[in-house]
Structure 1
């Protein structure tokens, strides 16, 4: 199947892959060729790409994934190879999320608190 990973700044990947594991808002999902058409939001987490060349992991901070039988497109807010992701980057994301919580509309506070929790869970996975 074909996979594209795109951020607002650049295209990170455009390749033929055998599987991608996506950190969806409702939980992780494994996507392979001939997958049912789906659109899902991403939560902060690890996106794992498996191809004939091995496995690559990307840290994503959120976004969307569009899945079809032919492939998937991941539109990430931010994405970086896990090997390039630093504790400083994570600290900055957590600080930004906590600042957002302070000014968030009351109806959005639960979603922002969940995002902070997702970043803390991500911290445990990348350390």
Structure 2
């Protein structure tokens, strides 16, 4: 077990993943970092980007999950990522996502207040990040 680390990804509506893996690439608030067994303890914010999960380090990631905000708690034995929103890239319908991006752009133009506009812009930006990750 010393060559594996426990990884859990939790979103508000469900446990998205729980597995013992060799490494996890985390999009931290201050930059990407790779967590492997024995990593020093750290707590970090998570920026909107893709989390790459490696069953075998050095091979292609076995799972790619887009997260939109949250934080990660790392110990030598465990990585727990609590995401505001998480989407497994393998489950994304590209056409539906492209429509969501168009709808979000329309929401920006229809916003009546600065707060509504800022919230719509944040959703639009996150959806564009996800669309870029899928391509």
TM-score with structure 2 setting the length:
0.71
2:70 and 2:99 map into 1 onto residues whose CA distance is 19
- Alpha-carbon deviation of 1:122? 4.3
Q: 2:10 aligns with which of 6, 12, 28?
A: 6
- Alpha-carbon deviation of 1:119? 5.1
Flag structure 2 segments of 5+ consecutive residues without an equivalent: none
* Residues 73 and 79, structure 2, Cα contact 8 Å, conserved in 1: yes
Deviation sequence 1:11-67 (CA, Å, 0-9, x none): 111111100001112121111111111111111111111115x61111111111111
| Residues matched between the structures, number | 120
- Note closer, same or farther for the CA distance 1:77–1:91 as it changes in structure 2 (3 Å cut): farther
CA RMSD of aligned residues (A): 3.0
1:124 and 1:13 map into 2 onto residues whose CA distance is 22
TM-score with structure 1 setting the length:
0.75
2:133 and 2:97 map into 1 onto residues whose CA distance is 14
